[in-house]
Structure 1
């Protein structure tokens, strides 16, 4: 077994921050699979594996190259069926698809506006130039203008998690009594914020905070292997 995960970092190569990489790190831990991490910056990604991708995560599993966090999770369940399942069947895969859509359309835009300048400042000079140029082209405005909404996003962020908060009244994880890949999807978004920004978005006694703390402790505390910002 020879598994390599390419993970996005800033100047500090020991602080991967991509939400999609964290989904995969938790998925690999869930399956109990050993792996090595190769840290890369933004401008290194197009050079990986012969130019196979412009984004991470990328997983090299022996002869198999898998791109995209959801595709990686599917691959891990198919390639290692004797290890704990990430989905527990078709219904779990469908649930995870919905959770991913919700996270990427609701949580990710908010985290971006909160942490945008923090992420920029975590990068080395070459990656900073790339990040500023690519994000300003995407948003059609300077990073500072996008980040002007930061205070409003911090104030309203907890409300975006109400569906999860309501669900946690009856079960400890999205997956039920134990976590599944759907949990790791939302965890990835909050871990992204935890590592990149010092913004205080949730009260300590918020049910979502308590769920996040449980997720940080999973699989020997892999989520705590990188300290908060």
Structure 2
């Protein structure tokens, strides 16, 4: 007779987060990137589903500006400043009168491509998390270098890392691999299994350490539509 036992939960699951100012710099950067993308996504859905003209401008604590707008940020700001509501004409007519206006069909296509790219990013993040797990296993076998990195903090969610943070992680991971190889070389010399004059082994370069940046997406930085970095390759 087979008795099935219910396995305990490995995670705490989803829980309500208290809304208060974050003091930890790493947590603040991760949260800003995640919430900014969420705001832009909701604005895009509002413009696609309801045909609304939307403009969103976000300033980071470092002074960088991130913009999203439909048909574009400048048009929405001009309507707000002048107090003149956008003309209630069809998309085709409006496109003939305003050459800067993005046709709704084109916008919908770009939006769906951005959604597909987001799903691809999630799949790649899983591979990055697996690389983190393997790195921790290697460090545990060798004995470690006594260092702790920011991505090892349990409060940091790897699912919301942006391109710059992932690139920084990959460079740090390669540095760790070199330290592990050097440590193995020292241990072999101390154990007498390797000649003192032998050269240390050259660590193999992981395939994740050379990732081309992708610039496709519907976010914008500095007021340019479609100019934000929203992807990374493996």
TM-score range, shorter chain: under 0.3
Q: What is the TM-score when the length of structure 1 is the normalising length?
A: 0.26
Q: What is the TM-score when the length of structure 2 is the normalising length?
A: 0.25
Which has more radius of gyration?
Answer: 2
